[in-house]
Amino acid sequence: MKFIDEFRDKEIAQGLIQRIRAISSRPIQLMEVCGTHTVAFFRYGIRGMLPAHVRLISGPGCPVCVTPNRDIDLAVALSRRKGLIIAIFGDMMRVPGSTSSLQKEKAEGGDIRIITSSLEALQIARENPGKEVVFFAIGFETTSPTIAVALLQSKREHIRNLYFLNSQKRIPSTIRTLLQAERIQIDGFILPGHVSTIIGSEPYQFISSEFNLPAVITGFEPLDILQGVWMLARQIEEKRASLEIQYKRVVHEKGNPVAISKIDEAFERDGALWRGLGWIPDSGYGFREALKDRDARNLEVEVEPSKEHPGCLCGEILQGIKAPTDCSLFKRGCSPENPIGPCMVSLEGTCATYFKYL
């Protein structure tokens, strides 16, 4: 396929690997904050190709993994309400909450429907005017404009029975929080290409200007990733700290202004609760005043007190402090078939990726 195959060329890849070997002289740790990158590193064998002193660590890179139990428990409680339909992206089905999951609730008779686009949630609401429909709206900035379009459309069409359980997250403030915590040595960031197609490069400027670290917005094909790693290694060797764009074919400084305006029309910036990271100011979205009547959190329902599995290290894995192999449950009770924590459920979760490829 065009724009994919040419970025998988093996000969060019070999040349880039030699380039990285030639320029990188000392141990470095690069963090990626996107689960799609985590998977690509393993799938294309990039970890094995890089010099041993170039370490890749995974951050909080998957919206499924960072959704706190509190929100999953609320979705579970809502799914037990009579005549209520939950619309959900497939990955969220199996994530265990405190005592149940939406998959279990579906088996018990809950009306839970997997969707692949926010517009399908709208359609379900149109087709079921007598029922309440709750769209479990998770995602980073890549997905947020699509959620905003559905929310604005529901208002325009006067669809009164569609509610949004909003658990969206924003990436830049979370990177700031990770850096401020200083719990892990990071020498550079491989920034998420698709989040950046929406928000552009500007929101990451602080990484170089305030924290003096190099960062490169990187695509997802093997050549993209190798070029991104090379650009970071070069900056580190040259003792520079700049924000650069590798993925220029779809990432521009200003992002996608139409998408940003949709987000702004529907939501205002707000703090958000992250699994493992806690409450992070300015890392999520709240509803604009005129849309607050569509907030699923207004629906009255009794929710169980949330609790985490005591042995699960997802919280630390999401911060890059621990690797899946540090967890006593990894492959010993926790597997993709029987996941204990969300990082083992999501297709792009760090634990699921390690399980599949290690």
Partner 1 sequence: MCLSIPARIVQIENNTAKAEVGGLLREISIDLCPEVAVGEYVLIHAGFAIQRVDEKEAGETLELLKQLAEAI
Residues near partner 1 (CB under 8 A): 1-4, 6-7, 11-16, 18-19, 22, 34-36, 62-64, 89, 91, 116-120, 138-140, 142-143, 145-146, 149, 192, 194-195, 197-198, 223, 227, 230, 246, 248-251, 256, 258-259, 262, 346, 348
User: Other C-beta atoms within 10 Å of 218: how many?
Assistant: 29
Nearest residue (CB) to partner 1, 183 versus 240 = 240
Which long-range contacts link 259-264 to residues 24+ away (Cβ below 8 Å)? 259/145, 259/198, 260/145, 260/198, 260/199, 262/145, 262/148, 262/149, 262/152, 263/141, 263/144, 263/145, 263/148, 263/198
Smallest separation, CB 100 to partner 1 (Å):
22
Nearest residue (CB) to partner 1, 182 versus 196 = 196
Radius of gyration of the chain (CA): 21
Nearest to 203 by CA among 282, 271, 147: 282
Nearest residue (CB) to partner 1, 120 versus 295 = 120
3-state secondary structure of 141: coil
- Give the span between the Cα atoms of 176 and 193, in whole angstroms: 18
Nearest residue (CB) to partner 1, 176 versus 194 = 194
Nearest residue (CB) to partner 1, 34 versus 50 = 34
Nearest residue (CB) to partner 1, 86 versus 251 = 251
User: Other C-beta atoms within 10 Å of 111: how many?
Assistant: 18
Smallest separation, CB 40 to partner 1 (Å):
10
Smallest separation, CB 200 to partner 1 (Å):
10
Nearest residue (CB) to partner 1, 195 versus 344 = 195
| CA dihedral of 53, 38, 251, 241, whole degrees rounded to 10 | -30
Nearest residue (CB) to partner 1, 307 versus 356 = 356
User: Other C-beta atoms within 10 Å of 13: how many?
Assistant: 21
Smallest separation, CB 126 to partner 1 (Å):
16
Smallest separation, CB 345 to partner 1 (Å):
12
Phi/psi for 141 (5° steps) reads -60, -20
Smallest separation, CB 236 to partner 1 (Å):
17
- Give the span between the Cα atoms of 111 and 105, in whole angstroms: 8
Smallest separation, CB 147 to partner 1 (Å):
9
User: Other C-beta atoms within 10 Å of 338: how many?
Assistant: 10
Smallest separation, CB 55 to partner 1 (Å):
22
Write the Ramachandran bin of 346: left for phi over 0, alpha for psi from -120 to 50, otherwise beta: beta
